[in-house]
Amino acid sequence: MANQRRQTHCEHIWITGASSGIGRHLAIKLANLGHRVIISARNRQALEDMASEHEGLIPLAVDVAAPGAKENACRRLAQLTPRLDRIILSAGCCEYFDVDRPDWQMMERVMSVNYFGAVNSIAAALPLMGANGHIVAMASQASRVPFPRAQAYGASKAALTYLLESLGVDLHSKGIDVTVVQLGFVDTPMTADNDFPMPFLMSAEAAADQLLRQLSQRPRLIRFPRRLSWMISLGQKMPGLWYRYIAPRLSRAQEEQQRARTQV
């Protein structure tokens, strides 16, 4: 809302995955601070509804994984903004693998959004980003240790993390900062149907607030919640503990697995 717009220095920001969850909260908060925020996702109507409710939001419907996504986004971004100060890559999807009924195609689907979607978005945005630019991507703590059924999701976020870290090395000399965000469990449409325990689950609103506080410092890595991070660090140091005791407790219940199999 106009009366909530507080910040004087107006950044030009592009957020992908802005129609729901963490991306949506970030977009609205940044617009309320007085920034000009281009919001992208596939759901055009959701983006237009957001833009009509919040001053400073500019809808740009894009499927980041579609053929030609890079060229399409690049051309349309250039029509909407003279420059990009920051991009926040939040577009993502999650599908769970079942070793008993493997869907190998899923690896490609998840990778095409979570990894190649980010590649396409960075390629589209970089020509508009000068020195002092900031690239932010939503990876995940899931890539730090093996979570049950997370073969596709975890691998895609591990690849994304490496891509960003490596880009951080090469873009440093151009004055562009790169931040990898590794969150734990956040209550959004993505996690709404999860049928297993989600320790230290936090709200999307709280995650967006914490992210915004830390993003202003442009660190290379943002990782929270801290208690999940500690649990995972312990698992990395003591793999036996992770494989035998912690990871099995993050599996869905046996009866749930049985029900899922009989439903297929």
Ligand X SMILES: NC(=O)c1ccc[n+]([C@@H]2O[C@H](COP(=O)([O-])OP(=O)(O)OC[C@H]3O[C@@H](n4cnc5c(N)ncnc54)[C@H](OP(=O)(O)O)[C@@H]3O)[C@@H](O)[C@H]2O)c1
Active site members = 153
Nearer to ligand X, 5 or 188 (CB): 188
214 binds ligand X (CB under 6 A): no
Q: How far is the CB of 188 from ligand X (least distance, A)?
A: 3
**CA torsion through residues 45, 90, 246, 162, sign:** positive
CA 212 vs CA 125, 139, 189, 209: distances in Å? 21, 16, 21, 5
Nearer to ligand X, 23 or 133 (CB): 23
The burial class, CB within 10 Å (0-12 / 13-18 / 19+), for 229 is: middle
d(CA 221, CA 189): 25
113 binds ligand X (CB under 6 A): yes
109 binds ligand X (CB under 6 A): no
Q: How far is the CB of 64 from ligand X (least distance, A)?
A: 4
Nearer to ligand X, 5 or 42 (CB): 42
Cα Rg for the chain, rounded, in angstroms? 19
Q: How far is the CB of 77 from ligand X (least distance, A)?
A: 14
42 binds ligand X (CB under 6 A): yes
CA 247 vs CA 10, 29, 155: distances in Å? 44, 35, 17
Binding-site member from 11, 48, 63, 209 for ligand X (CB under 6 A): 63
Q: What is the DSSP string of 11-55?
A: -EEEEES-SSHHHHHHHHHHHHTT-EEEEE-S-HHHHHHHHHHST
138 binds ligand X (CB under 6 A): yes
Binding string, 64-93, against ligand X, x = CB under 6 A? xx------------------------xxxx
User: Binding residues for ligand X, how many (CB under 6 A)?
Assistant: 30
155 binds ligand X (CB under 6 A): no
Please answer whether residues 199 and 228 qualify as being in contact, where contact means their C-beta atoms are separated by less than 8 angstroms: yes
Query: At 170, is the secondary structure helix, strand, or coil?
Result: helix
Binding-site member from 16, 120, 143, 161 for ligand X (CB under 6 A): 16
117 binds ligand X (CB under 6 A): yes
17 binds ligand X (CB under 6 A): yes
Please answer whether residues 59 and 48 qualify as being in contact, where contact means their C-beta atoms are separated by less than 8 angstroms: yes
List contacts with ligand X (CB under 6 A): 16-23, 41-43, 62-65, 90-93, 113, 117, 138, 140, 183, 185-186, 188-191
